[in-house]
A and B are shown apart, each in its own frame.
Chain A
C-alpha cells in the first residue's frame, strides 16, 4: 500500500459516511464557496497552462476572516478526480483539516463537502489541495489549487499603508535529475500570482508608504528567494506568526508552503522589479513590477548582496529553552531506485503508510528532533499545530513559531510543540513528490491525558 491506495481507501470508507451528514447540514448559505474545476490559465501572452483551480482563478479567492468566528465553506469538485482542501496552518479538528490520512473525507468528482470550523490562530494561513499526485505532475499541489486565508487578529495594529498578498508558484512540472541522485520535479514556468514577470499589472505604491506584503510560496517543491531592487524587506512574521525581532534583510527565502510577511518602506522612487534573486528564476517568471506614482521608464533590477537565510536573525536574542517532556527523534533518508527514478523517502527507516504512528499525550510538550540525512533541503510541515524553533544545526533559538520549517541538507532542526489539539495529525515534507513517496508520518493522541 502506498499513499495513493491509502487515500483511495480512506476516501472510499468516508464517502458514504462523513459526506452524507455534510450534505444534510446544507441548510444555510456558506460563507464561502470554492469550485474546483479545470482552468486554462494564460500566464503570459500565448503561454497557456492547463491546470485545475478554485473558482476559475489563481490564486483562489482571498478568505479574510475574523479570528474566533466560525466559518462555513462549501467545496464543489467539478474536476475528474477526488479532491480535498487542506486549511494549512490552522488548529482545527482532524476531520475538517483536509488531509485524508487524518480522516478528512475526499470529495469525489461531482461531489461537494461543507467544511465548518473556527479559524485560528490569527495570521496569514492558506489553503490548498492535499491530493496525491505521484508520477502525475498535473495533480496535487502542481495545480493552481491554492489560495490565501488571512485570519484577522482581534487587535491588529495595522502599522502599514497598503497590504498585498503575493503567491509564488511553478508550472508545467516534469521529472529531471534532482538532488540526492534521484529524479525530482523541475518546471518550465513560474509566476507571482497568475502572471510571469513583465505581464502582470504593476503594484502601484506611493513614496513614503509602508507596504505590508504577505508572501506565500505555493510551489509544489521549489525553494524561492525574493528581493525588491533598491529596498530592504523587514520580516515581521513567518508562517503568519509575528517574529520576536523584526529585522531588515536584502532578500527572503521561502521553502515550499512557507509564508513570510514583510514591511517595506517605499523610500526609493522608481520602477523596480520585485523578483527571484536568481536570474534563471526571474527568466522563468518569478517577479512583479513595483511602480512608484509619477515614475516612468523600464523596470530595473539591482542585484542584492548574497544572502544566507538564517531563522536566528528573527528570533529572541536570549535563547533559554525549557526542556520538553519528550524528544521525538525523526531521521529523514531516501531510498535510491536509480538516477532515472524517483526516490522513496523514509522517516526513521519507514515509508508512509508503513510508518509507526507517533503517540502523543494531550498537554505534553514535545521536541521534534528532525535529522536530515539527505542532500536535499526539506520543508517539513506539522498539521493542526504550530511549533517553536528551538535549534537549527545545533544553534539554540526561541520565539519563532511556525508550521513549516526548512530542514537543511545533512542538517538538523529541533522544534517544540504542545500537544493541544487532539486528533490524528499529519507530519510530512511539503515537497509533493517526497510526501507522495513516503515522506510522511501520522501523530496520534492517546486517550490518557497528562496527569
Chain B
C-alpha cells in the first residue's frame, strides 16, 4: 500500500505543476495587453519536412494586427487593424524538395483589399534515409512586395531549418537571413547622419538576421500546445538596438484533426518598441493528393 503522505505530496506536486502552467499561460495572456511595426504576412515557424511528391498543400494565413503602428512611416501604411491574408501553395517535387508560392494581400478600413506581393520559395531537405539525428532543410524565398506594405520591396531569404521530435516534445529553429535587394530610399531631405540611421534601423541594404523558433508539447495525437518566437535583429554585424529590434512571442495551438488538414492558432505579443504589440494569427491548410491513388491501393504510398 502507498504511504498516504506520499499520495498527498504527489497530489501537491501535481497541483503545483498545474498552477505553474497556468501562471505561465496567464503571464503570456497578460503580456498580450502590453502595447509598434512589422510586415507580418506569413507567421510560421517551418518544419524541416517537405511535402510528399504529387501532393499540394494549400494554406491560408490570416493575421490581424490588433495593436501595431498607427502612423505612416517612410511610405509604409500603419499596421494597426490591418488584416493580412496570405495564400501559400506548396507542391512536393520529390522526397527531398518542394516549391512554395505566396500571394500576399492586406485589408484595412479605408484602403480596401490590396495586393501586396508574391514570393516563391524552393526548399530542399536532408533525406530521412541519411539518418541524421535532427531534421535539416534549406529554404530560399525570393520575391516582391509593394512599398506601401514592405520595406524592402525585393528580397531574397535564405533559411536553414533544424528540428527534432523527442517523445511528446518538438522544437524547430529557423535561421532566417534576408538579403534586402531593393529598399525604399530615405527622404531626399535627410542629412547624411539621418540616412545612415535609416539604412541601419529601417531599411538595411545588406543581409539581415531574424531567427524564429518554436517549442511544442503534444498532450494528445490530436493537438499540441507551445510557443513560437519571431525576431528581427537587423543587419549582420550591425544589429539595431534592442529597442528597435523585433521580438515576438506567440502562444500557439496546433490541431491535427486529419492527416489532410493543418490548423494553427496563436496570439503574439511584441516585446519591444519595434514590434507590433499584438497580433492574432490563424493558419488553415489542406493537402491535396494529385496522384489520385486510392488509399491502400497498389499505387498508394501507404
Hey, which bits of chain A sit against chain B, CB under 8 A? 174, 176-177, 179-182, 186, 188, 225, 227, 250-251, 253, 277-278, 280, 304, 306-309, 336-341, 375, 377, 408-409
Q: Are B221 and A336 in contact (CB under 8 A)?
A: yes
Hey, which bits of chain B sit against chain A, CB under 8 A? 95, 128-129, 131, 164-170, 218, 220-221, 256, 259, 293-294, 296-302
Q: A174-B131, A277-B299, A340-B166 are in contact. List 18 more A-B contacts (CB 8 A).
A: A181-B221, A186-B128, A250-B298, A251-B298, A278-B300, A280-B95, A280-B301, A306-B293, A306-B294, A306-B299, A307-B297, A309-B298, A337-B168, A339-B170, A340-B165, A340-B168, A375-B259, A409-B296
| Residues on the A chain within 8 Å of B166, using CB | 338, 340
Q: Could you tell me the distance in whole angstroms from the C-beta of A345 to the nearest C-beta in chain B?
A: 14
Q: Could you tell me the distance in whole angstroms from the C-beta of B170 to the nearest C-beta in chain A?
A: 7
Q: What separation, in Å, do the CA atoms of A188 and B95 have in the docked complex?
A: 14
Partner of A227, one of B170, B256, B298: B298
Q: Are A278 and B299 in contact (CB under 8 A)?
A: yes
Q: What separation, in Å, do the CA atoms of A179 and B302 have in the docked complex?
A: 9
Q: What separation, in Å, do the CA atoms of A227 and B298 have in the docked complex?
A: 9
Q: How many A-B residue pairs have CB under 8 A?
A: 66
- Chain A's closest residue to B95 (CB) is A280
Q: Are B298 and A340 in contact (CB under 8 A)?
A: no
Partner of A278, one of B167, B170, B301: B301
Q: Are A339 and B218 in contact (CB under 8 A)?
A: yes
Main SS at interface, chain A: loop
Q: Are B218 and A188 in contact (CB under 8 A)?
A: no
- Chain A's closest residue to B291 (CB) is A306
Partner of A338, one of B131, B218, B259: B218
Q: Are A306 and B298 in contact (CB under 8 A)?
A: yes
Q: Are A181 and B256 in contact (CB under 8 A)?
A: yes
Q: Are A338 and B298 in contact (CB under 8 A)?
A: no
Q: Could you tell me the distance in whole angstroms from the C-beta of B296 to the nearest C-beta in chain A?
A: 7
* Given A174-B131, A186-B128, A280-B95: A308 and B165 interface contact (C-beta under 8 Å): no
A-B contact pairs, 26 of them (CB 8 A): A176-B128, A181-B256, A182-B221, A186-B128, A188-B129, A227-B298, A250-B298, A251-B298, A253-B298, A278-B299, A278-B300, A304-B298, A306-B294, A306-B297, A306-B298, A308-B294, A336-B218, A336-B220, A337-B167, A338-B165, A338-B168, A339-B218, A339-B221, A340-B166, A340-B168, A340-B170
| Residues on the A chain within 8 Å of B220, using CB | 336
Q: What separation, in Å, do the CA atoms of A440 and B165 have in the docked complex?
A: 28
- Chain B's closest residue to A187 (CB) is B129
Q: What separation, in Å, do the CA atoms of A375 and B296 have in the docked complex?
A: 11
| Residues on the A chain within 8 Å of B302, using CB | 179
